[in-house]
Structures are given as C-alpha cells and as structure tokens.
Amino acid sequence: METRIKVHNFQISLVSVSYVLIMVSIPVGFYFLTSPAAKCKVCGDQSSGKHYGIQCCDGCSCFFKRSVRKNSNYVCIAVAKGQCPIDKSRRNWCPYCRFRKCLRVGMNVAAVQTERGPRLTPLTRLRKINKGNTKNYQILSQILITCLQQAQSNDHLRTLPIKQQQVIIRMVWYEYLILKISYWPVDIMSVFSECSDGNFKNLIETTKQLKADVMEVKLLESLILCRKEYALSRELASLLDSYTDYNLMVTYRYVAHEKNYLRFGHLLLALRQLCSLKVNDGLNNQFFLNIIEDILQTYY
C-alpha cells in the first residue's frame, strides 16, 4: 500500500520521493545513456541523444552530417544494389546504404548547419581527375576510404602520433587494402575491371585461399600496421616492435588453441607475401596515391 506524507499542504507519495532522490543522485546523461529504449534508429547501437530529428549514435550522426556537408555521392558496393545490412558491426561497409537508411528513418538534411566550406575531399578529387569515367573508380575509392577509416581505429595504430600514423598508412595501404578486399562481406570483384589488371585480381584470389577467420584477419591487419621499419624514432620503433611481438604471440596462441599447428606458419607466409607487394602490382598507382593523400588530409 502506498504511503503519503504532508509537507506544507502538499501530499507527496513516498514512492515519488524515493524516485526523485534516486534520480537526483544519478547524472542526467547517465540516465539517458542507459535507457533501454534509447537505440540508434540507423544501426541499433546505443543512442547518444536526438540528432537531426531522430535518436541515433554519435557515429551515424557524424556520418550523416559529413555526407550532407560534403554533398557526397555514394554508390552501393554490393551486387544486390541497395540491400546492404546496416547494423552496429556492419554500418561502415556501405556508405550508400547507410546514408539511404539515415534518410529512411527520418534524419533531416535541412537540420545540418553549414559552418564553413568543405575541404577538398577524396570524392571531389575523384571527380576532378576522372571526369566522365565509370563509377567503378568511385566505388573503389569509397572502399579505400572505408578501409583506412577502419585502420585508423586499430587499437595499436591509434596510440601512435598522427604523423607516425600517416607515414605508416602511406607505406602499407596497398597490402592492407588487399587483405580487406579479400574478406569483404559482399562480392565486389566486378568493380575491378577498369581499375586494375589481372594481377590485382590474382592477388585477391590468392589471399582469399588462406580462408582466414575474423580473428585471424584482425591480427594480420595489426601486424601490417605495426611495421617498425617505418618508425620515425627509436622510441616508436621499440613501441611498434612490442606491438608486433604481442600480435604474433596472440596469433600463435589462437591457432594453438584451435590445434591447427601448421596454421601459424601459413599465416606468416601470407603476411610475408602481402608485405612484399608493390603498389604498381596491378592497380592504377597514381590515382590511388592521390586518393590516399586526400584521405590523410581529411580524416587525420
């Protein structure tokens, strides 16, 4: 039975008082962040509040704002156009489907306030150097942007100074791209017809034959991104060396746990092959180097 008390002619429920005391003791932000109903309508991640008219996470909010301000022209990367799944783990794979879902759930383009003119973006550069070219170059550039954004979030790479990150990206982007494309969640091989030669496709097929699982791909990514030969100082070389040792140890323990004792050697051979690749092995070199520089200027 609910108990009520009288304070200065106001009857207040003790249940209400308890609720108020609890809510006062909890920061407002914490309450909203932990509300089970506060989910991003775009990807289903935890919402950080209302952005551009809907509940969404910071990632989707920033993506939507950036897309509108830069007037980005996305193209779906999948064979089944416009059907890519957009959830917490796969929201970065296809910007076209992600932006379309932003609009579908009600994000308001008019609510994005333009503060200043945008810098030259990778897709702007793309349009300038490939006027009238096919959309395959555009799709590949979007894939490259997505890959390098994911590299930027690598647990080891992001601990390094920005300048060191940029140096590593400039040196390893090609082998990193090969690895990522080889295990892309949808079939995108058809986009390479005008952007590469048969050698590039062979590299992709060879890497696919490794049949690496998600954990192995992540470890190979870290080993590619932690190359101490690109260190800018002795201290950073030592740090990168420790990261490499750590990832090798984790890789060995992982395959040993699976009792596949030859797997460790196979992974190292694949890594060696990837790291020995040259940028001109089958890909339009100068075009992608231009895109890389624009990505580094825009996202770093």
Say how many domains are in the chain. Answer: 2
Residue 31 falls within a domain, yes or no? no
If asked whether residues 69 and 207 sit together in one domain, one would say no
Q: Are residues 273 and 143 in the same domain?
A: yes
Residues 159 and 277 in one domain: yes
Confidence of residue 234 (pLDDT cuts 50, 70, 90): very high
Q: Does the residue 165 lie in any domain?
A: yes
**Three state DSSP letters for the chain:** CCCEEEECCEEEEHHHHHHHHHHHHCCHHHHHHHCCCCECCCCCCECCCEECCEECCHHHHHHHHHHHHCCCCCCCCCCCCCCCCCCCCCCCCCHHHHHHHHHHCCCCHHHCCCCCCCCCCHHHHHHHHCCCCCHHHHHHHHHHHHHHHHHHCCCCHHHCCHHHHHHHHHHHHHHHHHHHHHCCCCCCHHHHCCCECHHHHHHHHHHHCCCCCHHHHHHHHHHHHCCHHHCCCHHHHHHHHHHHHHHHHHHHHHHHHCCCCCHHHHHHHHHHHHHCCCCCCCECHHHHHHHHHHHHHHHC
Average pLDDT over residues 219-245: 94
Asked if the model's pLDDT at residue 100 lies above 80, the reply is: yes
Q: Residue 8 falls within a domain, yes or no? A: no
Q: Which domain holds residue 73?
A: 49-111
For residue 210, give the nearest of 278, 284, 263 by alpha carbon: 263
Q: Which of 9-13, 36-40, 61-65, 66-70 has the lowest mean pLDDT?
A: 9-13
- Whether 72 and 106 share a structural domain: yes
Query: Is residue 128 included in any domain, yes or no?
Result: no
Give the CATH number of the domain where residue 147 resides.
1.10.565.10
Residue 236 lies in a domain: yes
Say which amino acid occupies 161.
P
The pLDDT tens digits for 235-277 are 999 999 999 999 999 999 998 887 777 899 999 998 888 888 7
Same structural domain, 149 and 273: yes
Asked whether residue 137 falls in the same domain as residue 286, the answer is yes
Same domain as 154, residue 281: yes
- 221 within a domain of the structure (yes/no): yes
217 and 93 co-located in one domain:
no
143 shares its domain with 104: no
Pair (150, 284) in one structural domain: yes
Q: Is the dihedral of CA 216, 218, 222, 225 positive or negative?
A: positive
Provide the percentage of residues in the chain whose pLDDT is more than 70: 69
Confidence at residue 194, expressed as pLDDT on a 0 to 100 scale:
58
Q: At 85, which CATH number?
A: 3.30.50.10
Are 111 and 102 contacting, i.e. CB atoms less than 8 angstroms apart?
Answer: no
Residues 141 and 176 in one domain: yes
- pLDDT tens digit sequence for 275-300: 887 655 555 566 677 777 777 766 56
In a domain, 33, yes or no: no
**Residue whose pair of structure tokens reads 């551009």 in the numeric block:** 52
Assess whether 97 and 192 both reside in one domain. no
For residue 21, the Cα-to-chain-centroid distance in whole angstroms is 42
pTM metric for this prediction: 0.57
**Per the domain annotation, does 206 fall within a domain?**
yes
